[in-house]
Amino acid sequence: MAKGDRGARLRDRRTAGPPPAEPGAPLGDDLVQLLTPEGERIDRVTGPDGVEYSVDFSDSEYRGLYRDLVVVRRLDAESTALQRQGELGIWASLLGQEAAQVGSGRALRPQDMAFPTYREHGVLYCRGIDPIMPLGLFRGVDQGAWDPVEHKFNMYTIVIGAQTLHATGYAMGIAMDGKVGNSDDPADGEAVIAYFGDGATSQGDVNEAFIWSSVYHAPIVFFCQNNQYAISEPIERQTRIPLYRRAAGFGFPGVRVDGNDVLATYAVTRHALDNARHGQGPTMIEAHTYRMGAHTTTDDPTRYRGISEVEAWQAKDPIARVRAFLAKQQIADAGFFTEVDEQATAEAMSLRERVLAMPDPEPVTLFDHVFVDETPQIRQQRARFVEYQASFEGSGH
């Protein structure tokens, strides 16, 4: 190792000790996939959990998933551009994870509740929330202004893994409300999906959520987007076994799905959610995917990963394979692809216009909603603040 070869030293340290038990090992039979990177459709596949997975979509449903994927990616690209132009403080791009988010997001039934991290812009879109909402947070004009109860999509959570416990508690509430396991009707019964990443699996809260949901048999799906990196740290720093296998130790099934395959992700998530609502308890899904971009716009991934690795994942792009499939099967023609691109561009332009027009909040609103029942201290501080601000009026400040 040459002096100053920092990368080699890091690799050495990473591989010191007994070899890892294959967390990032080549994926074989344990990966549920229904659409290959080349766009070949696999009719049905048996997962590591012994379940046979398939989807039965109409042509228009296939086209709808493609449309979601393209729009979500385009909105994300616009958001990254807005950050680069100084309109957002920071942006956490979902580039590369569109299929994991659209597949799982569309698998939710209307009555299901989602608990996101801060990168689930695609799931948010699928929940019917105006995609400008997360931009308010990253622009700094609010902290996420959607109604979590109305849209069944909770606030973004930035503290890693904390939301998995909230999701578990909510799922316990569903069971207490008697809204689980009453019939086989998918419209009956509610379930929860908790999103988190590979890094979060090292958090105590996530492990506590696994334990709680297991012992209370809560109707919850733990959806882990293993995008291979926790900022700079590769998956080998979080685990020595494939993440989905951890579920067995907690007493519920785990399944690994190709997270770049929207069809498989949909099938696996829907199955797990329906199991949960029907009283079968939790499931952990590891969606095997890749964060194509930086952790956030403040990050520089060239410091910790090579271009060949990124290129290898580029070949597994979640959108290209759906497009290839649609074209090959003549489910969509060139006109459709053009129209989707135009829609995506139009939504992106609308997003841009509306972000630029987002007003800053009135400073005095920083005192609002500290409590339901406001305290005299807050009232007094607000009053002093208003008085102080007023003291500048007409003084040239």
Partner 1 sequence: MAAKTMTMVKALNAGLRRALEADAKVVIMGEDVGKLGGVFRVTDGLQKDFGENRVLDTPLAESGIVGTAIGLAIRGYRPVCEIQFDGFVYPAYDQIVSQVAKMHYRSQGKLRLPIVIRIPFGGGIGAVEHHSESPEAYFAHTAGLKVVACADPAEAYVMVQQAIACDDPVIFFEPKRRYQEKGEVDLDASLDGARPLFASRVLRQGTDATVLAYGPMVRTALEAAAAAAEDGRSLEIIDLRTLSPLDLGPAYESVKRTGRCVVVHEAPGTIGLGAELAARITEECFYSLEAPVLRVTGYDTPYPTARVEEEFLPDLDRVLDGVDRTFGW
List C-alpha distances in Å: 181 to 274, 282, 344. 10, 13, 40
Question: Where are the alpha helices (H) located in 152-306, listed in sequence order?
Answer: 162-176, 204-215, 246-250, 262-277
In single-letter form, the type of residue at position 380 comes to Q
Q: Per-residue x/- marks for partner 1, 153-182, CB under 8 A?
A: -xx-x-x--x-xxxxxxxxxxx-xx-----
**Active-site residue, 295 included:** yes
**Angle at the Cα of 83 from the Cα atoms of 237 and 301, rounded to 5 degrees:** 25
What's the rounded Cα separation, in Å, for the pair 384 and 140?
A: 24
Helix, strand, or coil here: 197? strand
Q: Which residues partner with 115 through β-bridges? A: 194
Closest by Cα among 205, 219, 289, 204 to 252: 219
Q: Which of 106, 127, 270, 291 is catalytic?
A: 291
Beta carbon of residue 250, minimum distance to partner 1 (angstroms, whole number):
11
Q: Indicate the residue among 207 and 296 with the shorter CB distance to partner 1.
A: 207
Q: Which of 12, 38, 52, 147 binds partner 1 (CB under 8 A)?
A: 147
Q: Indicate the residue among 204 and 396 with the shorter CB distance to partner 1.
A: 204
Beta carbon of residue 380, minimum distance to partner 1 (angstroms, whole number):
10
Q: Indicate the residue among 333 and 368 with the shorter CB distance to partner 1.
A: 368
Q: Which of 17, 359, 376, 394 binds partner 1 (CB under 8 A)?
A: 376
**Active-site residue, 291 included:** yes
Q: Indicate the residue among 217 and 321 with the shorter CB distance to partner 1.
A: 217
Helix (H) and strand (E) counts for the chain? 14, 10
284 counts as binding partner 1 under rule CB under 8 A: no
Beta carbon of residue 173, minimum distance to partner 1 (angstroms, whole number):
3
Closest by Cα among 173, 176, 170 to 152: 170
Q: Which of 24, 39, 64, 148 binds partner 1 (CB under 8 A)?
A: 148
Using CB under 8 A, count the residues that bind partner 1. 42
Beta carbon of residue 174, minimum distance to partner 1 (angstroms, whole number):
7
**Active-site residue, 304 included:** yes
Beta carbon of residue 299, minimum distance to partner 1 (angstroms, whole number):
22
CB 201 within 8 A of CB 229: no
66: its two tokens: 């493609």
Beta carbon of residue 152, minimum distance to partner 1 (angstroms, whole number):
11
Beta carbon of residue 92, minimum distance to partner 1 (angstroms, whole number):
17
> Rule CB under 8 A: which of 126-145 touch partner 1?
142-145
What's the rounded Cα separation, in Å, for the pair 152 and 335?
A: 35
Q: Indicate the residue among 188 and 208 with the shorter CB distance to partner 1.
A: 208
Closest by Cα among 183, 162, 161, 164 to 172: 164
CB 243 within 8 A of CB 31: no
Q: Indicate the residue among 135 and 319 with the shorter CB distance to partner 1.
A: 135
> Rule CB under 8 A: which of 96-115 touch partner 1?
115
Q: Which of 50, 371, 387, 388 binds partner 1 (CB under 8 A)?
A: 371
Closest by Cα among 210, 231, 108 to 160: 231
Helix, strand, or coil here: 145? coil
> Rule CB under 8 A: which of 178-237 touch partner 1?
204-205, 208-209, 211-212, 215
Q: Indicate the residue among 71 and 175 with the shorter CB distance to partner 1.
A: 175
Helix, strand, or coil here: 195? strand
CA atoms within 13 A on the CB side of 364: 11
Closest by Cα among 179, 175, 244 to 215: 175
Crossing angle of the two packed helices 334-356 and 318-328, in degrees rounded to 10: 150
Q: Which of 295, 321, 323, 352 is catalytic?
A: 295
Beta carbon of residue 245, minimum distance to partner 1 (angstroms, whole number):
22
19 counts as binding partner 1 under rule CB under 8 A: no
Q: Which residues partner with 45 through β-bridges? A: 53
373 counts as binding partner 1 under rule CB under 8 A: yes
Catalytic residue set: 291, 295, 304
Residues that bind partner 1 (CB under 8 A): 115, 142-145, 147-149, 154-155, 157, 159, 162, 164-174, 176-177, 204-205, 208-209, 211-212, 215, 368-373, 375-377
